[in-house]
Chains A and B, each alone.
Chain A
Amino acid sequence: MRSVRVKALLVGVVLLALVGVMATRESGPDRMSTHLVGQGAPPIEGATIDGDVWRLDLQRGRWVVVNFFSTTCVPCVREHPELVAFAEAHAAAGDVRVVTVAFADSPGAVEEFFRANGGDWPVLASDTGRVAVDWGVVAVPESYLVSPAGFVVAKVIGGVVQADLEAMLVEARGS
């Protein structure tokens, strides 16, 4: 009888441990949020709204902010002036490039948006589904900082602000 109790107790402890492990395990969405950070940046290649071909691998040696965007997304529209300010602050030094990948949007609407709101950087707006999948984009806006060596060093889910981007850059540079 006593042996049965001990066995039952052991089974209980094992089950409790299992529940504990499951309960404290990192949840899915959190893990997704840091996905790609520390990995090589997936390729980006495509036609810009200006008709040029833009490739991420041709930017090696420079920092690149990859911004996934849509004109129909309110946080994207809100963050846009911050990105413009950030890009302008680095235009003279040429140390950082910004690229926008418009996702699930019409190229015409994107072109019109940039014409009206500024942003003098390459904007890819056609056939960007593959890029979004390669980068694991869940919902726009999402921004990534890519190092000169081609690593994704930071990821921001949601709108960005200039000061945060600058801080991210300083931290990534280690200066």
Chain B
Amino acid sequence: MNRFRWLALVALVLGALVVSEVATQPVLTNADRAHQLAENFACPVCSGQSVAESDVPIARAIRTEIARMVDEGATDAMVRTELVDSFGQDIDYTPQGSGLTGLVWVLPVVLAVAAVTGLTLALRRWSGLSTGRAGSTEKSSRTMLLVGIAVLAVGAGLLVAQTSGSRGAGETGSGEIRLSTRTLLAQAGVAAPQEAIALYTEVLELQPSNVEALTYRAWALWRSGGQLLARVDINDAVTMDPAYPDARVFRASMLFADEEAAAAAQDLLVLDTLAAPPIVGDLLAASHLRERIASSLAAQGDLLTALTLLDSGIEVTAQPAPLLAERGWLLAVTFEPDLLGLAVEALDEALALEPAHPNALAYRALVRSVLLEDAEGAAADAASFAALADPPTALVELLTTEGLLG
């Protein structure tokens, strides 16, 4: 019974120690918190100075960044994660709760418990000596007590380490920094569709409003056959950020594939008003998405929207020749004499910009041959087309049918 009393006493001491370590600090002003946090980080270029003490430019910049984050409501753990992400673990004065560094937290607790235990045992021994009680039962009980206390001490030490040395909710079990969302996004960008979907989902769990993750998950889903889910994601992405260019171009592609050319055209028209990265322009050029949508619209009788879409693209792109060629062709195949001049003008302009553009050459050869009765000009364009290294098969067949290629 006596033994349990001692055990309870030790547990109480340990409990108090743990609570004192993890107890919530009193509420501070933002400026106090920012200053207190700055004291917990090492100046990256000074020796032995904290960010709060140093006056070098990067320390000043870090102080400003800490103050900004605190004002925006970031927790201490979030500030710590941000700075460790940027500068590495060595900037953080607070030791990690895992690995070898975790001993910094564990050892003091273990030593404190060992000291209390030693004192307790010494007192009991003196008490036993004075009353003349000692024997094998007593020794066995003492051993069990010691083992129990040792387990308790290590457990308490680990608890203190985990709590005080924690880097916040994002930390993995091994104590490593969780990959930041930007790294997850970059990894997903080069991953296979299924892996990419998992990575984008992970980003969205961390940051549900991440429009980039939502957009690219939609695209990865689309590529892997999940059309319905892709459409849900891409619509959410456009709603979340109507000015995100990537979402617009991906949705246009999906809409066009689902034979909704008019809606696809609207997305591209919005896209033309946004600051899109070059990769979006490259994607549009490589897929000929705009030309295909315009062609589809014209085939459905909506020539006006088709031309509006092409003209909008011609204004914003650095390589308008393919769009000019398509514009010329769509105008020509109306067979309206009033539009023929505009058609030839567009084709001429396309070839002035890119003399070896296959579509422009083939279209102008056909227009000259069929509509302008200019056999010589048509033969010249057809010859230039035939000299191309790898002319598109569909155009070769078209020119052959019209007797312009042998």
A133 touches B186 (CB 8 A): no
Interface readout for B149-193 with A: 1 if CB under 8 Å, 0 if not? 000000000000000000000000000000111111111011000
CB–CB A40/B87 < 8 A: no
For residue B276, which residues in chain A have a CB less than 8 angstroms away from its CB?
Answer: 58
Give the CA-CA distance A32 to B58 in the complex, in Å. Answer: 14
Q: CA A31 – CA B57 in complex, angstroms?
A: 21
Q: Chain A interface: which size bin?
A: 35 or more
Q: Nearest-CB distance from A140 to chain B (Å)?
A: 9
Q: Which one of A104, A138, A150 contacts B186 once the chains associate, using CB atoms below 8 Å?
A: A150
Q: Which of B86, B181, B278, B282 contacts A59 (CB 8 A)?
A: B278
Using Cβ atoms and an 8 Å threshold, which residues of chain B touch A148?
279
Enumerate chain A residues within 8 angstroms of B83, measured Cβ to Cβ.
Answer: 133
Which of B86, B180, B184, B190 contacts A136, CB < 8 Å? B86
Inter-subunit contact A104/B61 (CB<8 Å): yes
- Complex Cα distance, B56 from A17, in Å, reads 38
B302 at the interface (CB under 8 A from A): no
Whether A60 and B277, one on each chain, are in contact in the complex, defined by CB atoms closer than 8 angstroms, is yes
Do the beta carbons of A39 and B190 come within 8 Å of each other? no
Shortest Cβ gap from A158 to chain B (Å) = 14
Contact between B57 and A138, CB atoms less than 8 A apart: no
Q: Is the CB of B58 within 8 A of A132?
A: yes
Q: How far is the CA of A129 from the CA of B65 in the complex (A)?
A: 8
The CA of A136 and the CA of B279, in the complex, are separated in Å by: 27
Whether B183 and A149, one on each chain, are in contact in the complex, defined by CB atoms closer than 8 angstroms, is no
CB contacts (< 8 Å) of A160 on chain B: these are none
A62 to B279, CA, bound (A): 8
B255 in the interface, Cβ–Cβ < 8 Å?
no
Q: Which residues of the other chain, A, contact B8 by a CB distance below 8 angstroms?
A: none
Q: What chain A residues lie within 8 Å of B61 (beta carbons)?
A: 103-104, 129-130, 132-133
Closest to A140 in B: B57
Which residues, 73 to 94 on B, are CB-close (under 8 Å) to A? 83, 85-90
Query: A94 to nearest B CB, angstroms?
Result: 9
Given contacts A138-B45, A150-B185, A150-B189, contact A40 B180 (CB under 8 A): yes
Asked whether A41 is an interface residue with its Cβ less than 8 Å from the other chain, the reply is: yes
Contact B184 A60 (CB under 8 A): no
The distance in angstroms between the C-alpha atoms of A117 and B65, with both chains bound, is 32
Q: A35-B88, A129-B65 are in contact. Are A60 and B44 (CB under 8 A)?
A: no
Question: Can you name 15 extra interface pairs (CB under 8 A) apart from A32-B90, A130-B65?
Answer: A22-B100, A25-B100, A40-B182, A58-B275, A58-B278, A60-B277, A60-B279, A104-B57, A104-B60, A132-B58, A133-B62, A138-B45, A139-B45, A149-B186, A150-B185
Chain A interface (Cβ < 8 Å from any Cβ of B)? 21-22, 25, 28-29, 31-32, 35-36, 39-43, 55, 57-62, 103-104, 129-130, 132-139, 148-151
